[in-house]
Structure 1
Amino acid sequence: MKLRKVTAASAVLLALSVSATACGGDKKDDSSSSGGAKKITIGIKFDQPGIGQKTPQGYTGFDVDVATYVAKKLGYSTDQIKWRESKSADRETMLQRGDVDFIAASYSITPEREQKVDFAGPYLLAHQDVLLRAGETKIKSPSDLNNRKLCSVGGSTSAQNVHDKLAPKANLQQYPTYSECLSGLQSGAIDALTTDDSILAGYASQAQFKGKFKLGGFKMTNENYGIGVKKGSPLKDKINKALEAMVADGSWDAAVKKNFGPAGYKNEPAPKIGDVKS
């Protein structure tokens, strides 16, 4: 009788052990990189319309479309993508720590950054430009910004670059956000907003601003957008192949038109992989 009680108790313990092991096994499978449970973590901007924006309906923008295409070529479906906000100051650290697999976030390729991370691409050649009111006729070149109110966000080097090199008498205005610069431009409180033309086009393409702004088309600098990966990552070559495929099958052109078209953005042709314009 006592032996049967011990045996029964052992059976219960064994059953509990097997159950716990199974639960542990399920948890491990959920986080594994095999089968349907695999995930890829991608860094993007959350607050740049037309580039990378988090909305109640999901994530939108040119960088989001590029990153989604690349992820699919790497074998990940849309629901296997985990999006992470990658603020400009955090991008290198996020890659070095392994917080993300790659970053597509208006991430210009520079020699300083290449010392810390690797880049696939470039996948877009942008330029520093200005955004003007649609009816503006007197600002036709950077020098016409002299004695005009020129806006950019606090901490940005864009407005200072114009002031130092092209329009030394420009009246620099720093606002906390681009949206506030846009409001100032719309009201007449400022005369021009400056940053990358792709970012300007993204903002101007929003429905509420349709037909209210135009790009100057000044092309004051070259900004080569690349996809950042950790130093030595084998993803670099795979991403480059995906970017080439995106251009070849027309998806790149479609993404440009979809995200920047309403602003009349005259984009450069898709750059060749490795061709970084100085």
Structure 2
Amino acid sequence: MNLRKVTAVSAVVLSLALSATACGSGKKDSGDGGGSKGGGKITIGIKIDQPGIGLKTPDGKYTGFDVDVAEYVAKELGYEEGDIVFKETKSADRETAIARGDVKFIVASYSINDKRLAKVDFAGPYLLAHQDVLIRADDNTITKPEDLNKKKLCSVTGSTSATNVKEKIAPNAQLQNYGGYSQCLTGLENKVIDALTTDDSILAGYAAQEAFKGKFKLAGFKLSNENYGIGLKKGDAELKDKINKALEKMVQDKSWQKAVDANFGPAGYKNEPAPKIGDIVK
């Protein structure tokens, strides 16, 4: 084969390769960030053990306010319900899951703070929560934070909420250690403990469960400000902008308030108005 023929063949091969590349470039980004390998899928990190926030039910369904937010955002990004792959992300693993590409973004009662902002970016905030206290519905002895002195306050392993109350507000509170919030609720119901503390959104979600409806109430103390944001890879300004636009639309079309009422309403949760994008309340 002479040089002219070799050159002609090479040109045909190059042309075919460029054509194939051009055809493939029109596909929708899978958005799975290294999670699901199926085309057109998006993997989103959530909690699966927080009723009202993010819960995986025994029949495999996902419910909660964060789930509603995640599904709404995914839809605005161009994904169908069947494209969404939810992945449990525990609190200690969130930054790692984002950096490693296990998830595209995380919606999991993820409070925005300076330490986390050094590692990941946040869209939002989409909810302003507060540390609060849950007490029995008929309890009239705890009307202000200082009333927690000499009361039995549930402390969940791994949580700093109860310790903060004891150190900063009620030094004579009696911390009672439990393995999880469900055990705290049972202890509260049976009068083994007097109060349980964590974010008011989380408390409302637990109290709204069918088994506990009408038995507890939020004290409304607002002991801290917790700005829930959607965590994503540092530097992904395009995705952050798209998520923020989706959150704004969710508020405007009333879907945000509908989700709040559905997931927290049964516990008498008095939510803050939907926060403005980028407005972090210290």
Instruction: Tell me if structure 2 keeps the 8 A contact 1:204–1:263.
Output: yes
**Is 1:120 aligned with 2:123?**
yes
Q: Residue 48 of structure 1 corresponds to which residue in structure 2?
A: 50
Q: How many angstroms apart in 1 are the aligned matches of 2:106 and 2:178?
A: 27
Shift of 1:185: 0.2
Percent identical: 69
Q: Are positions 1:272 and 2:273 aligned together?
A: no
Give the aligned CA root-mean-square deviation in angstroms.
1.5
Deviation at 1:33, TM superposition (A): 3.9
Match of 1:14 in 2: none
Match of 2:112 in 1: 109
Q: Secondary structure at the match of 1:120?
A: strand
Question: What TM-score does the superposition give when structure 2 sets the normalisation length?
Answer: 0.86
Please give the alpha-carbon distance, in whole angstroms, between the structure 2 residues aligned to 1:113 and 1:172. Answer: 28
Quick one: distance in 2 between partners of 1:214 and 1:183?
14
- What amino acid is the match of 1:254? K
Match of 1:242 among 215, 239, 246: 246
Paired residue for 1:9?
Answer: none
Matched residue SS, 1:260:
helix
- Is 1:228 paired with 2:231? yes
Give distance in 1, aligned partners of 2:61 and 2:117.
Answer: 31
Note if 1:256 corresponds to 2:260.
Answer: yes
Whole-angstrom CA distance in 2 between matches of 1:33 and 1:273:
25
CA distance in 2, matches of 1:32, 1:66: 22
In the TM superposition, what are the counterparts of 1:1-278 in structure 2 within 5 Å? 33=29, 37-55=39-57, 56-233=59-236, 234-278=238-282
CA separation in 2, counterparts of 1:63 and 1:156?
Answer: 20
Contact 1:152 1:195 in 2 (8 A): no
SS at match of 2:103: coil
User: Once the two structures are superposed, what CA deviation does each residue of 1:8-41 show, in whole Å capped at 9, x if it has no partner?
Assistant: xxxxxxxxxxxxxxxxxxxx9xx9847x940110
| Structure 1 residue 273 displacement after superposition | 0.3
**How does the TM-score come out when normalised to structure 1?**
0.87
Secondary structure (helix, strand or coil) at the match of 1:116 reads coil
> C-alpha separation between the residues in 2 aligned to 1:32 and 1:73?
14
Per-residue CA deviation, residues 82-111 of structure 1 (Å, 9 max, x unaligned), is 000010000000000000000000000000
| Cα shift at 1:57 | 4.8
Tell me by how many angstroms 1:70 deviates. 0.2
Query: Structure 1, unaligned stretches of length 5 or more?
Result: 1-27
**Structure 2 Cα separation of the partners of residues 174 and 107 of structure 1:** 24
- State the Cα distance separating 1:174 from its structure 2 match: 1.7
Q: Distance in 1 between matches of 2:191 and 2:230?
A: 37
2:93 aligned counterpart, secondary structure = helix
Report SS of the residue matched to 2:224. coil
Alpha-carbon distance between aligned partners in 2 of 1:248 and 1:103, rounded to the nearest angstrom: 22
SS in 2 for 1:71: helix
SS in 2 for 1:139: coil
For structure 2, the 5+ residue unaligned runs are 1-23, 31-37
The number of residue pairs the alignment matches comes to: 248
Which residue does 1:15 correspond to in 2?
none
SS at match of 1:235: helix
